């Protein structure tokens, strides 16, 4: 939905006050063309904004959206692959999609919230939508610093009972701060019926009612690109720079020596900084421009730069810290860091010598080894214990969510 929001302010059906429905991918399995959070808008006259699958399920989704607008109720549609029925609506790639369809009336508060976001907005943006009967949406402009317990908008969306907001904090904040999309299900607060608190002072007994359903939220969060900090203006840094950008990182090259850092071959970096490495890292961390997705690659291979830099880096909550050097350099580096007071458990997070053992020799090959280790570490969920295998030697699903991104569903 985040990708559609900039277009909603000029989309004719929304501007002219037509009824609409929003269809959003809220669950996936196997190989699918689009990720969770992808949305498509359908107007009451069948006009479409966006796409869910590139064509293989759109027609069925449009029909379901029109039906939802006719009866006014949300629904969940599932699409998969049928080998028995060649004409069944589904995904030829063999994957599975769960699509939530929510009708939005002309006076819908949710539609008003979405269409007010009529520009590209900040680089960091998130959306919290209520998928159950309650409906509604909250736009979050600073996902990393969002706190559920302090948000009056979220309280209006889910109710202001402390237990509900605490549950929202536990499930929603990790999705927001990780730049991810996902579902959050909140148990209705004990003693609440349809959002109203019951007390012993009620004049008449309350007749038996059905068990209240969980509050279902769908969270989409978009953060700026994660950062890769390369320390060392040398051949290896020049090769790693475009490799990091290929992975989607915002790449900074830092070196204390102006004559090295200002070479033309580093001009493609997103930022080139001339400063002492540890001092630069400390200032970026203090300014809040470092987060747990940040990758640090120390390629200077010089103890006067490496030791204070690694001491600083290992004291931060970073995704990856790697340092170039031989086995002998690594042993000397560990001794120096221990002497400087770095805890032994922090040293377990240090990838040194840097990179996977691919037999790399040239700077380009070393860059591949480093980025391969970063990708493997990102998917392992166990810092310092990267395990990789050739796909031909394994079985089972190829695409598996990293363990640290998998959230247990409290309702299963």
In whole numbers, what is the pLDDT of the chain averaged over residues? 82
Read off φ and ψ for residue 296, nearest 5 degrees.
-120, 125
Cβ-contact 319, 293 below 8 angstroms: yes
Read off φ and ψ for residue 77, nearest 5 degrees.
-110, 140
Nearest CA to 236 out of 368, 374, 358 is that of: 368
Q: How far apart are CA 16 and CA 213, in angstroms?
A: 35
- Residues 243-262 have a mean pLDDT of 96
Q: What DSSP line would sit under 77-95, residue for residue?
A: EEE---SS-TTSSS-TTS-
Partner residues linked to 401 by β-bridges: none
Query: Residue 180 has what pLDDT?
Result: 87
Structure tokens at 183: 């579902």
Query: Residue 383 has what pLDDT?
Result: 44
Q: Which residues of 86-121 are buried (b: 16+ CB within 10 A; e: fewer)?
A: eeebbbeeebbbbbbbbbbeeebebbebbbebeeee
pLDDT tens, 114-156? 766 544 455 678 999 998 876 788 999 889 889 999 999 999 9
Residue 151 DSSP SS3: coil
Highest mean pLDDT among 44-58, 170-184, 230-244, 280-294: 230-244
- Residues 188-216 have a mean pLDDT of 53
Question: Could you give the count of Cα atoms lying within 13 Å of 279 in the half-sphere of its Cβ?
Answer: 7
Q: How far apart are CA 299 and CA 277, in angstroms?
A: 11
236 DSSP 8-state letter: H
Domains (range + CATH), the chain: 1-106 (no CATH), 122-189+213-224 (no CATH), 227-387 (3.40.50.720)
Does pLDDT of 163 surpass 60?
Answer: yes
- Residues 403-411 have a mean pLDDT of 39
Query: Residue 55 has what pLDDT?
Result: 65
pLDDT tens, 293-339? 899 999 998 999 999 999 999 999 999 999 999 889 999 999 999 99
Does pLDDT of 237 surpass 70?
Answer: yes
pLDDT tens, 73-127? 888 888 875 544 433 444 455 578 889 998 886 555 666 667 665 444 556 789 9
Reported as a pLDDT band with limits 50, 70 and 90, residue 51 is: confident
Reported as a pLDDT band with limits 50, 70 and 90, residue 354 is: very high
Does pLDDT of 213 surpass 90?
Answer: no
Does pLDDT of 183 surpass 80?
Answer: yes
Query: Residue 116 has what pLDDT?
Result: 61
Who contacts 129 (Cβ-Cβ below 8 Å, separation ≥6)?
1, 24, 102, 110, 136, 137, 138, 217, 218, 219, 220
Q: Note the Cα 118 to chain centre separation in Å.
A: 23
Reported as a pLDDT band with limits 50, 70 and 90, residue 195 is: very low
């Amino acid at each position: 939905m985040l990708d559609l929001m900039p277009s909603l302010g000029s989309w004719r059906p929304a501007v002219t006050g037509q009824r609409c429905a929003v269809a959003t991918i809220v669950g996936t399995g196997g190989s699918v063309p689009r990720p969770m959070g992808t949305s498509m808008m359908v107007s009451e006259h069948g006009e479409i904004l966006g796409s869910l699958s590139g064509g293989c399920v759109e027609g069925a989704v449009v029909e379901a959206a029109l039906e939802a607008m006719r009866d006014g109720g949300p629904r969940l549609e599932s699409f998969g692959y049928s080998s028995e029925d060649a004409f069944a609506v589904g995904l030829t790639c063999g994957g599975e999609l769960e699509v939530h369809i929510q009708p939005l009336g002309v006076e819908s508060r949710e539609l008003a919230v979405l269409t007010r976001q009529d520009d590209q907005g900040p680089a960091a943006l998130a959306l919290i939508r209520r998928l159950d009967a309650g409906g509604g949406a909250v736009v979050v402009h600073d996902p990393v610093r969002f706190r559920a317990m302090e948000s009056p908008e979220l309280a209006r969306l889910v109710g202001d009972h402390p237990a509900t907001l605490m549950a929202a904090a536990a499930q929603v904040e990790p999705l927001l701060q990780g730049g991810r999309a996902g579902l959050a299900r909140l148990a209705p607060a004990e003693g609440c019926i349809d959002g109203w608190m019951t007390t012993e002072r009620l004049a008449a007994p309350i007749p038996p009612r059905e068990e209240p359903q969980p509050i279902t939220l769908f969270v989409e969060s978009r953060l700026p690109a994660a950062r890769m900090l390369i320390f060392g203006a040398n051949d290896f840094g020049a090769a790693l720079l475009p490799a990091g950008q290929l992975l989607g990182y915002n790449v900074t090259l830092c070196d204390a020596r102006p004559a090295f850092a200002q070479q033309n071959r580093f001009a493609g970096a997103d930022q080139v900084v001339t400063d002492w490495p540890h001092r630069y890292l400390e200032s970026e961390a203090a300014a809040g421009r470092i987060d747990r997705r940040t990758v640090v690659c120390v390629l200077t291979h010089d103890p006067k730069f490496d030791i204070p830099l690694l001491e600083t880096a290992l004291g931060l909550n970073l995704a990856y810290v790697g340092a170039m050097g031989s086995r002998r350099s690594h042993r000397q580096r560990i001794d120096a860091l221990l002497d400087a007071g770095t805890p032994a458990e922090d040293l377990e997070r240090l990838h040194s010598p840097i990179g996977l053992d691919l037999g790399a020799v040239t700077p380009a090959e070393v860059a591949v080894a480093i980025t391969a280790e970063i990708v493997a570490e990102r998917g392992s969920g166990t810092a310092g214990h990267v395990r990789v295998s050739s796909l031909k030697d394994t079985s089972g699903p190829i695409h598996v969510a990293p363990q640290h991104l998998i959230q247990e569903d409290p309702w299963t």
